[in-house]
Structure 1
Amino acid sequence: MSKQTAPIDRLLAIMAQLRNPDGGCEWDLAQDFASIAPYTIEEAYEVADAIARDDLAELKDELGDLLLQVVFHARMAEERGAFDFDDVAAGIADKMERRHPHIFTGNEPNETQAVRANWERLKADERAAKAQTGALDGVALALPALLRAEKLQKRATRVGFDWPDQLGAADKLHEEIDEFTKASTEAERLEEAGDMLFAAVNWLRKSGIPAEDALRAANAKFERRFAGMETMAKQDGQDFAALDLSDQDSLWNRVKQGEKAPRD
C-alpha cells in the first residue's frame, strides 16, 4: 500500500482485507452489526473518559478506535449492498448543511434563539420524514438509562410537558421516594425505584446538571477514595478486607480529610 494513500483510504482498505473471506481475519469475518454494537458503545464511553481526564494523547487513540467502529459497520453494510463509508460521510455532511442554513445558505437569521428554533424544526421535519411523528420517537434504546431518561424528558419539554420550575420536580422526587418506601412487593419496589430514579434525573435536569455526568463523577470519586482506603490500610500494616466497618469508615474519613487538606 502506497505511503501516499490518504489515512482514511488506508483504514478502509485494512478493514476490507480483514473482512475478506480469502485471507481475512477469522474473528472479524465472524462479526455482524449486533456483535459489534457493544464495542461501539464501549469506545464512545472511552472517548468520554479521555475527555474527562483531559488526556489528549489518549483522546486521539480513542477517537481512532471509535472511527474504526464506524468503518467496521460501514464495511458490513457495503457487503450487503446497503451503503458504504462514503454514503455515511455524505449523509452526515448533508445533514449538517441542512441543519445550518444560516451558515451555508445565508437565507436564515443567525441569532441564537432563531437558530435553535430552526434546528428543532428541521429535526422534527427529519423525524416526520422517517415516520417518527411522536415527540419521543427516535430516542435510542441502547443509551445508558440515565442519559436516555434525560433525553426523553427534554423531548417532552419541547411540547410543553414539563415542570415550570425546580420546585415541582423536587416535590415529585420526594413523592416517589415516599412511594418507594411504602412499596410492599418486589414488583412494586422495582417499579417505584424506576420512578424515583426518573424523578431524580428530572430534578437534576431542571437544576442544570446532567445526571449521567454527575453519576460518572461520583463513581470516579468513590473509586479514588476506595483505593485511598486500601492504600492507607496497607501503609498501616493492615488487611483492609479484614477490618470491621467502623475501622473502614475511619479510613474513609481520613481519605476525605486528605482531599480537603490544603496543597502547597
Structure 2
Amino acid sequence: AASSPGAPTGAAQGTPPAPRAQTLASQHTGWLVPQMSLWRMPSGPGKLPKYVQRNFRLKALGLVTLQLFVVVSIMVALDRALDAFDIKGKEKALSGVLLGNIVLVVLALTVLLAYKSKYPLNYALLGLVTVLAGVVWGIGGEFLPADLHFQVVGIICVAMVCMTALSTALSYTNWNAWDLVLASTFFGWSIGAAADLWIAPLLGIARGHALIAVMVTFFLFLIFTWEAGRLLVDCDPDSFMQVVIGMDSTLLVIVSIPVFWAVGFTFLVTCCLRDVGRDQPAEEEGGEPV
C-alpha cells in the first residue's frame, strides 16, 4: 500500500535514518584526542600544567641534591676515620674495599632500575645506592691528588642547589622547557666551577688541579643533559624515579671511572716497584769477583 503524504519516511518504514553529524571527538579521533589534557589548567594542548612540571623538577632535583649532601657527609666521615685509625698507608686493602663497593653500587643501581615503581622498596634501594656511593668516593679519594674528589662532588653539590632554585624560578615564566633545563643546568655548573676556582687556591690547592675538577664536572653535566634532559622536559610523573636513577648513574657512577683508572695505575706502579726491589738485592749479593 502507498504511504500517506504526511507519513514520515525512513524510520517509520523500518529503514535506518540518514547518518547524523559525528561528535567532535569521533570526528577528530587520532589528532584531537591525543592532544587533550585531563590535568587542571594545562599549559597547552597535550602538555602538563606548569605547576605539575615545576613540582616534578623540584622533587627530582631536590632529592638528588639531598643525596649529594649525604654523599659529602659520608666522604668527610671516612676521611676523618682514615686519619684517626692510620689506614691511609694501606693502599692494597683500601683498593680491594673500593673495587668491591663499586661493584655493589652498580648492582644496587641495576636492582633499583628493575624495581623503580615498587614503593617503598625503590626508596630503600635509593638510600643504599647513596650510602655505597659515599663510601666509594670517600675511599676513592685516597687515590686522587689534591682532594680532587671533594672538589668534584663539591662542584656538583653547588650546581644542583643552583639548578633546583633557578629551574623553579624560571617555571613561573614563559620559557621553553628545553631552554629552562639547559639554562638552569649550566648556570648551576658555572656557579659551582667559579666557587671551586675561588676557594681551591685559598686552601693551598694548585689552580691546575682546580681546572681539572672543573673540566671533569663539565663533562659529567654534558652526559647528565643527554641522559636526563628529555625526562626533565617531559616531566611525566610516572617517570620520576627514572629521572633520579638517570641522575645517579651520571653523577655518582660515571664519576668512579677516574677512580678505576687511579686504582689500576696504583696497582701497576706497585707491581713495578716490587719487581725492582727484588732485582736490586740479587745484584748486590752477586757483586763483582775479587
Specify which structure has the bigger relative contact order, considering alpha-carbon pairs within 8 angstroms and separated by 6 or more residues. Answer: 2
TM-score range, shorter chain: 0.3 to 0.5
Length-normalised TM-score, structure 2: 0.31
